[in-house]
Amino acid sequence: MKRRKFLQSAGTLTIGFCWWGSSFLPPFAGENKVDSSPQAASLDSWMAIGSNGIVTVLTSKVDVGTGVLTALSQVVAEELDVAFHRIRMVTGDTDHTIDQSQTSGSRTLHKAGPQLRQAAAAARRELVRRASSRLGLPPENLTVEDGIVSGPGGKSGSVSYWELIGNKRFDLTMTAAGTGENLQLASDVPPKNPKVYKIVGTSIPRIDLPAKFCGEFMYTQDMRVPGMLHGRVIRPNHPISLPTGVDEGSIRDIPGVIAVVRKGSFVGVVATTEWSAVQAAANLKVTWSEPTIKLPANADAAFAYLRDTKSFHDQAVADKGGMQWGPTSAQQASTFQATYRWPFQMHGMIGPSCAVADVGPKTACVWTGSQGIFRTRRAVADLLGFAERDVRIVYVEGSGCYGRMCPDDAAEDAAVLSRAVGKPVRVQWMRQDEHIWEPKGSAQLLSVRARVDGQGKILAWDFMDRYHPYTAGVDNRLLAARQIGMEQTGPGALGHGFNYGKAGGGDLYGFEQQRIILAAIPWIQNDLTPLRTCNLRAPGTVARTFASECFIDEIAAHLATDPVQYRLSLPVNDSRTQDVLKAAAVKAGWMTRPSPSPLSGESTAHGRGVACSNREGTMVAAIAEIDVDKKTGKISVRRITVAQDCGMIANPDGVKNQIEGNVLQGISRALFEEVQFDESGLRSTDWGSYRTLGFEDLSEVEILLINRPELGFLGVGEAAVIPIPAAIANALFDATGIRLRDAPLTPERVKSALPS
């Protein structure tokens, strides 16, 4: 394939500006050393050892800015017994890396950690075996330090990995069972005991940051391909309709415009310079027909729709013990009930979507920040009518995405334009493109009902989450594909698939009678509209936790019981929940008393609130301390204390970095974020119309990490965001006695609830 040849010969060039996280192969592992159709069982498909002392690791997992590749490098270095600085990662290349499933769900360390560890363990065992032959010593008497295999006592000679195998293939087959994230490699090779870890568990600085701070790191947006043209796609700010008029004459004076590309409702421009493309897209007169569907008139209408429309699937996260709501036993029991509302929210990537595509007559290569390169390959191949093996997707890191880049609209846009003009095309979404057309986190309508006896025991718990399943998720046809005429295949859009996480609806607790239902509400409006939905960090779980943890607090308040003590009295499904709760309470200096606070300032009220979460085994307890300005209703978060148990910690500072980010995003989503819209389109079209947390809104963040190596790696990337909004809402109640059940907790909402 012409393009691949170019890339391999340019390996030495590209290595200079992006050796880190690049999918360009290192020059010493040339074409004949690295498989072009990698096999999961072949060690050479995972690792190459250079005579220059560099270990190259191949993985389809990618770093979306969370530092996960640093942590994975630690895992490999540890198991292989080489110094950390020797590890280079080649990531996210459909031609050269094994499908380990997309990078999402906070499952990278959890699933790929063991996979890479086992590949490294297999490599170490093989290298020790070869050294054993070379040195004439039994393998069990050999030790390895930084790639040097030595006999006992330092007198029996030694040989290095680089001498044993440098620049050569292993030609070794490992055991391999399962696929994707369930792939089990080299299960016959015992890994090291975590007790002897020297690298995993330390705060090694991230390898990508120096380049990022000095303008040397190559993001997708910095990708340049020789002969590259610039493309933009023109979409309206309303549900996609038909472009009944495209006046190409309106841009005739813009030099460098190569083509106006039209197919179905897809309208794009390609130009020789970026500025020409931007101006062409801005000035091209396109008349759109009246859309056949409208957005809801406002948020109330969207919630009414969620409330009144029959679900097409009720997913039971829990359904046990039957539900008894009528008068029953002699126990005095009360029924509590509440409804909570969570709005549409955005990922709001700071670097709008970008991709470069080079489509030839029979093959294509796309460089993109997609978290699911194999999914993107399928989608691009389908779109172009090519076989998957003739499409190569190469991951190049974009900005932080919080779920947005699981699907990849920009890759498909670029593929359509590149095919139309027969040259590589770079598509850069503009800010409004991104705000309007990024798939959103769905609005959710949450209702909770509980039966509680006179002693505060929760007898029955009934929780329902009504939400819209993804229409721009990994199984969906995205904008370009749909606009050029392909049918939607994604289950969410067709009303027979559901996906919005599982946790957060009270499944932390083990009540005897417990029902938690996630109801998928079909909605034709979200297929080709600005309210299309996909996974947003901790999908579904943030909103469900907002409802369930606020509700627990409401019961506690009614019982005049301290919220931490109340939670500790409830049955939990995993005792680690109570550990993080106690740890957070101690660290925050929590004073035991019921809410609301007996103290209240004249103009400023102070309060504290708690909430917990368990997402796929990662436990978080968060305590929020806030001030409330009684005149304006403004909430200022003073301090968030987080206790987190995510099993084995690969890199403590990396975990803390992620927790800080999760917490600040959680504050942002709790206080500010709500996609505004009306029937005609989105009103949140740029940063000025969609508020997010800034430097003026900062809180202190205190973090306590609980390390449990025996549990292995558990998820970090989207754990700590989950309890933050509930903790803040509970703190608001503590401060003022106001219970807000609608997020975000804006000053307007607080003020109108405050007694005047």
Partner 1 sequence: MRMRLSPSWYGASMQIEPEEIQLKVNGKLHLVRVDSSTPLLYVLRNNLELNGPKFGCGLSQCGACAVILSGRAVRSCVIPVGDVKNLEITTLEGLGSSENPGPLQRAFIEEQAAQCGYCMNGMIMRAKVLLDSNPAPTDAEIKRALNGNLCRCGSHLRIVRAVRRASVGKS
* Binds partner 1 (CB under 8 A): choice among 362, 573, 694, 748: 694
428 binds partner 1 (CB under 8 A): yes
Q: Which amino acid type is present at position 495?
A: G
> For partner 1, which stretch binds (CB under 8 A), given 74-82, 208-216, 466-474, 596-604?
208-216
214 binds partner 1 (CB under 8 A): yes
Mask for 396-425, x = binds partner 1 (CB under 8 A): -xxxx-x-----------------------
Cα–Cα dist 346/431, whole Å = 13
65 binds partner 1 (CB under 8 A): yes
H or E, element range at 379 = helix 373-384
Q: How far is the CB of 419 from partner 1 (least distance, A)?
A: 23
- Backbone phi and psi for residue 220, each to the nearest 5 degrees, phi listed first: -50, -40
Q: Which amino acid type is present at position 289?
A: S
Cα–Cα dist 127/134, whole Å = 10
**Three-state secondary structure readout of 150-205:** ECHHHCCCEEEHHHHHCCCCCCCECCEECCHHHCEECCCCCCCCHHHCCCCCCCCC
Closer to partner 1 by CB, 164 or 204: give it: 204
Strands 700-706 and 635-645: parallel
Q: How far is the CB of 432 from partner 1 (least distance, A)?
A: 6
Closest-CA residue to 131 (of 156, 97, 160): 160
Radius of gyration for the chain, computed over Cα atoms and rounded to the nearest angstrom: 27
Size of the site for partner 1 (CB under 8 A): 68
Q: How far is the CB of 398 from partner 1 (least distance, A)?
A: 8
432 binds partner 1 (CB under 8 A): yes
Cα–Cα dist 549/572, whole Å = 14
108 binds partner 1 (CB under 8 A): no
Closer to partner 1 by CB, 65 or 114: give it: 65
Closer to partner 1 by CB, 173 or 283: give it: 283
* Binds partner 1 (CB under 8 A): choice among 121, 218, 478, 552: 218
239 binds partner 1 (CB under 8 A): no
Closest-CA residue to 682 (of 245, 345, 341, 237): 237
Mask for 346-385, x = binds partner 1 (CB under 8 A): --xxxxx---------------------------------
254 binds partner 1 (CB under 8 A): yes
589 binds partner 1 (CB under 8 A): no
Cα–Cα dist 544/726, whole Å = 9
Q: How far is the CB of 399 from partner 1 (least distance, A)?
A: 4
16 binds partner 1 (CB under 8 A): no
Closest-CA residue to 125 (of 170, 180, 71, 75): 170
* Binds partner 1 (CB under 8 A): choice among 163, 222, 390, 579: 222
In terms of DSSP H, where are the helices of 422-532? Answer: 431-437, 479-483, 491-494
Is 4 exposed, middle or buried, given 0-12, 13-18 or 19+ CB atoms closer than 10 A? middle
Q: How far is the CB of 503 from partner 1 (least distance, A)?
A: 21
> For partner 1, which stretch binds (CB under 8 A), given 72-80, 315-323, 565-573, 698-706?
698-706
> For partner 1, which stretch binds (CB under 8 A), given 393-401, 594-602, 617-625, 737-745?
393-401
Q: How far is the CB of 681 from partner 1 (least distance, A)?
A: 14
- 3-state DSSP call for residue 320? strand
- 3-state DSSP call for residue 41? coil
- Backbone phi and psi for residue 466, each to the nearest 5 degrees, phi listed first: -105, 120
164 binds partner 1 (CB under 8 A): no
Q: Give the position of tokens 């975590």.
A: 194
> For partner 1, which stretch binds (CB under 8 A), given 61-69, 174-182, 604-612, 705-713?
61-69
* Binds partner 1 (CB under 8 A): choice among 696, 710, 755, 756: 696
664 binds partner 1 (CB under 8 A): yes
In terms of DSSP H, where are the helices of 458-540? Answer: 479-483, 491-494
* Binds partner 1 (CB under 8 A): choice among 10, 13, 177, 209: 209
List Cβ neighbours of 299 (8 Å cut-off, separation of 6 or more).
341, 343, 344, 443, 674
261 binds partner 1 (CB under 8 A): no
- Report whether 73 contacts 57 (CB < 8 A): yes
- 3-state DSSP call for residue 515? strand
- Report whether 447 contacts 335 (CB < 8 A): no
Closer to partner 1 by CB, 132 or 651: give it: 651
Closest-CA residue to 434 (of 232, 670, 228, 694): 232
* Binds partner 1 (CB under 8 A): choice among 668, 684, 730, 746: 668
> For partner 1, which stretch binds (CB under 8 A), given 45-53, 86-94, 165-173, 392-400?
392-400
> For partner 1, which stretch binds (CB under 8 A), given 201-209, 312-320, 444-452, 473-481?
201-209
Q: What are the C-alpha distances in Å from 406 to residues 376, 392, 400?
A: 9, 17, 12
- Report whether 426 contacts 219 (CB < 8 A): no
Q: How far is the CB of 481 from partner 1 (least distance, A)?
A: 25
Site for partner 1 in 268-287 (CB under 8 A): 273-276, 278-279, 282-283
Residues that bind partner 1 (CB under 8 A): 64-67, 205-206, 208-219, 221-222, 224, 253-255, 273-276, 278-279, 282-283, 348-352, 397-400, 402, 428, 430-432, 653, 657-658, 660-665, 668, 685-688, 692-696, 698, 700-701
